Structure 1
Amino acid sequence: MTSAPAATRLRTARAVAAAALALGLAAGPLAAPAVAATTAPAADTGTGTGGPDAAALRAALAGLPDREATAALVRVGGDGTWHGTAGVRDLRSGAPALEHARFRAGSTTKIVTAALVLQLAAEKRIDLDGTVQTYLPGLLTDDFEPITVRQLLNFTSGLQPGASLGDSVEAGFPHRFETLTPREVVAASVAKGPRHRPGERQHYGNIHYTVLGMLIEKVTGDTYAHQAAVRIFAPLGMRHTSFPVGADPRVHGPHNRGYEEIDGRLVDVTEWNMSDRWAVGDMISTTADLERLIVALFRGRVVPEPQLREMFTVPDLPGATMAAALERHEVNGKVIWGKTGARPGYHTVVAATRDLSRTLVYSVNATDAKGDGLGIVQRFAFPAFNR
């Protein structure tokens, strides 16, 4: 990356200062930030003719940091490639965002969980029509009708949300170093009784994949994290993807810090124990590693046919959009399959056309990462599929 002109660096530094001072900065609490005047503008690289709309992608990254995000890493592949990095590593120093940074990948973790279950199904160790009651006896009460593994995969199980340490970033922040076990999460769901009969409706939620994580451990006699490592991360060369050990709240290795607006102030939320999200959202990764995952998955190198079809089969129910971990979208006339992920301070998208003519992975350090995410997706995801 070439050095930015002094005038550009100064303008960017002022933008950092404006963004930080307009909202105020705290990390626990912290004092007001001291912002260095040596930040860098967005950098991008691209190859291929007839590839992604580079101008639109550059426009999406322009002006970072701003009120929506402090940093963004965007990686587009398929017919032509484009990589862009913008923003700052942290608001205190104003150091440029790291292109190969690790980040909390949130619910894109569900892609890994679904893939593990479908691998085990291909090995005939799990029957997708088998029931939770058979595989995990005693987990559910007699109030529940038989729930199949497939119904967990496609979010039609009828399970209600489980326990959490806060339904919002604001509520969860004081509890960010506490722990909930998967059994505690599920027990709270079970205590509420069923939301609806299995297979009757689709309701996206974490609880389905918490149970799938427990199923993986029961069937393999191994930890979920180790199964993910040996079955997916290592074979695909995802060297920078892992799960925290236990309740470790840190992101190890190079990373851009995450911030959330809480009570009108930007709060550093980088350190946070996400173990209660476990098999549904605890993964730490990079854009390059997640690109490896989606490409290998769609090519049938992770999950074999016919099990792979589960990831592209939306149940025939009113309003259903989710298959096994992947959601179907139409953007600019293209059918896109992907998954969003949101953890405090980090918003992630993994998406691709079925033929891999266009792939997208991004990590955005959004200041409202746990909001509805629509504005972030429209800004950073849609331009990748302009043409």
Structure 2
Amino acid sequence: MTNSRISTARWAVAVAVAAGAALVGVIGATVPAAATTPVPVTVPASVAASSVAVRAHGRVDPVALRGALAGLPDAYVRGAMVKVSGREGRWSGTAGEWTGPVDARFAVGSVTKVFTGAVALQLVGEGRLSLDDTVQELLPGLLPASYEPITVGQLLSHTSGLQKPECVRAGTPVEVVTSAVSCGSPTTPGKAVQYNGVNYFLAGLVVEKVTGRTYGEELRDRVLRPLGLRHTSLPADDWAWAEGGLVSTAPDLTRFMNALIRGVLLRPAEQRLLFTTPPVPGASFSYGGLTHTRLPGGGPLVWGKTGSNRGYASGVFATPDLDRVLVYSTLPTGQDADQELDRILRIARAAFQGHA
């Protein structure tokens, strides 16, 4: 396999949720994004395909970014929002059926996992939790007695070995976990990477057990309020919860990513864990829930996370030096996962173009 194809495959994994699966699809059941209606954005029946609203400044290439959004809506992506910022300039734009402003609220899906990871690593830094603590010790009786011990670090890095949740059902976090493990069999923990949203339902339950407070309260007091993320919230009616339930905005996600990478939220030891992947072949998720990848055909190393929920397929990625930070959200039709991935790759290439 060529380096370009390997990079494309890595990006395909990194943006797997952009293939049109809503949150439920991320953790097991297949639910086309086209079957849901994006909640914060009202989409009219007809919007001019050439409609691209933009603002630009600095060394980021606005021509390339406009080109990445050109032609929307099409058969695969109905609309998109892009915000690029950092020391090398800034640019923002919308296209197609994304009719709200760049700072409109949208469901961020599994980007929520990085928020959950940050809370968990804060608890590690406070000595209230260890990456070596096991789910069985912290949440006795939740997993079947036959399961091998699964550590908190394995949950956060998707190396828990938990089976793909073919039987998952919406409900409370405990109900989600118990339904997810009600059929199928796990593999040995710590041996391989298998992206699984159930890991982060368990991580959220661990946060609650350790603190004696709700996950929402811990998230609010540890991340949202300290960073001034006034437009980020955890809707009570979204069962995706600590795995993928957050609603946010491009400015809030940009602020969060900047604070996270700068070390504002974590102590030095836990900041290192944020960028540390486990010693497992093919490991691409860190102990903070971030994934790292390079653009196909070359380009900078970037860290971030994607997510999909309520009809949105979104992501936030940044260079380690924060010279460029990308936040995007698309409205996929669910018709062709490869075509949706191609659009996201075009956006990413344009966003990070020219950065070594």
TM-score by length of 2: 0.81
- 34-43 or 377-386, larger mean C-alpha shift: 34-43
1:98 offset after TM fit, Å? Answer: 2.4
User: 1:143-196 deviations in whole A, cap 9, x for unaligned?
Assistant: 11221111111111111233435xxxxxxxxxxxxx422112211333346521
Counterpart amino acid of residue 162 in structure 2: L
Give the Cα–Cα distance (whole angstroms) in 2 for the partners of residues 289 and 210 of structure 1: 23
Amino acid at match of 1:74: V
Residues 371/344 of structure 1: CA separation in 2 closer, same or farther (3 Å cut): farther
Give the match for residue 16 of structure 2: none
CA distance in structure 2 between the partners assigned to 1:236 and 1:115 by the alignment: 13
What secondary structure is seen at the aligned counterpart in 2 of 1:134? Answer: helix
State whether structure 2 residue 334 is matched by structure 1 residue 350. Answer: no
Counterpart CA distance in 1 for 2:127 and 2:44 is 58
Superposition map of 1:34-49 within 5 A = 35=45, 41-48=51-58
Question: Aligned partner of 1:381: which letter?
Answer: A
Kept in 1, the 8 Å contact 2:61–2:353? The answer is yes
Could you say if the C-alpha distance between residues 46 and 34 of structure 1 is closer, same or farther in structure 2, counting changes exceeding 3 Å?
closer
C-alpha deviations, 1:73-125, integer Å up to 9, x for none?
11111111111122235xxxxxx332221111010000001001001111111
Structure 2 CA distance for partners of 1:197 and 1:38, relative to 1, 3 Å:
closer
- Which piece of structure 1 moves more, 362-371 or 116-125? 362-371
Instruction: Please name the residue that 2:125 is paired with.
Output: 122
Q: Check the 8 A contact 2:47/2:96 in 1, yes or no.
A: no
Q: Is the 8 A contact 1:115 1:303 kept in 2?
A: yes
1:328 aligns with 2:296: no
Distance 1:381 1:303 in 2: 27
> How do 1:1-387 residues align onto structure 2 when only pairs under 5 Å count?
35=45, 41-48=51-58, 51-78=59-86, 79-89=88-98, 96-162=99-165, 163-165=167-169, 179-192=170-183, 194-245=185-236, 247=237, 274-275=238-239, 277-324=240-287, 325-331=289-295, 332-368=298-334, 371=337, 373-387=340-354
Structure 1 pair 77/195, CA: closer, same or farther in 2 (3 Å)? same
For 2:171 and 2:157, how far apart are their aligned partners in 1? 24
Structure 2: runs of 5 or more not aligned: 1-33, 38-42
Cα 1:365/1:211, change in 2 over 3 Å: same
Would you say the 8 A contact 1:160–1:190 is kept in 2? yes
Per-residue CA deviation, residues 39-92 of structure 1 (Å, 9 max, x unaligned), is 9821222222xx222211101112222222222111111111111122235xxx
Q: Does the CA-based 8 Å contact 2:76-2:336 persist in structure 1?
A: no
| Residue type at the aligned position of 2:222 | R
Mean CA deviation greater in 148-157 or 327-336: 327-336
Moved more, 129-138 or 179-188: 179-188
Cα distance in 1 for residues equivalent to 2:109 and 2:319: 21
Whole-Å separation in 2 of the counterparts to 1:150 and 1:222? 21
Bigger mean CA deviation after superposition, 277-286 or 156-165: 156-165
- Tell me, in whole angstroms, the C-alpha distance in 2 between the residues paired with 1:26 and 1:204: 23
Q: Which runs of 4+ in 1 moved over 4 A?
A: 25-28, 33-40, 369-373
350-359 vs 307-316, which moves further: 307-316
Q: Is the 8 A contact 1:343 1:370 kept in 2?
A: no
Percent identity, aligned pairs only, is 43
Name which of structure 1's ranges 102-111 and 123-132 shifts more when overlaid on structure 2.
123-132
Secondary structure of the 1:191 match is coil
In structure 2, how many angstroms separate the alpha carbons of the residues matched to 1:283 and 1:367?
22
Contact 2:163 2:186 in 1 (8 A): yes
The one-letter amino acid of 1:148's match is: T
C-alpha separation in 2, matches of 1:353 and 1:38: 34
1:235 alignment partner, SS class: helix
- Cα distance in 2 for residues equivalent to 1:85 and 1:327: 26
Please, which moves more after superposition, 332-341 or 314-323? Answer: 314-323
